[in-house]
Amino acid sequence: MSARDERAEIIPYRDGPLVVRGPFVLLDEDGREIDAGRRTVALCRCGRSQLRPFCDGSHRRARYRAEGGVSPDAERRHPLRGD
């Protein structure tokens, strides 16, 4: 796969962060670019990280709970593709 064909992958981990792998641009709410400094990052889902938008592991101390993958309601609206 050439660099041009690469795409970012975003994986929601059970009880943890969203992990982003591949080429991506991260923006704040005002459209300013946030330098992630790497091609793989973990983004906070629990809201307790002191490094937001990046994960610092606070979800473990907070006992944050969230399903990984796709919820049944989302699956009905957006069926998984097998590619």
Quote the CA–CA distance of 4 and 10 in Å, as a whole number.
Answer: 18
Q: pLDDT tens across 2-49, in order?
A: 556 789 999 999 999 999 999 999 999 999 999 999 999 999 999 999
Tell me phi and psi for residue 75, to 5 degrees. Answer: -60, -40
Which pLDDT score, from 0 to 100, does residue 21 have?
97
Q: Mean per-residue pLDDT for 47-61?
A: 96
The model scores a pTM over 0.85:
no
Cis peptide before 53 (omega within 30 of 0): yes
pLDDT band of residue 79 (cuts 50, 70, 90) is confident
Domains of the chain, first to last: 7-68 (3.40.5)
State the DSSP H helix or E strand holding residue 62, giving kind and residue range, or none if neither.
helix 58-62
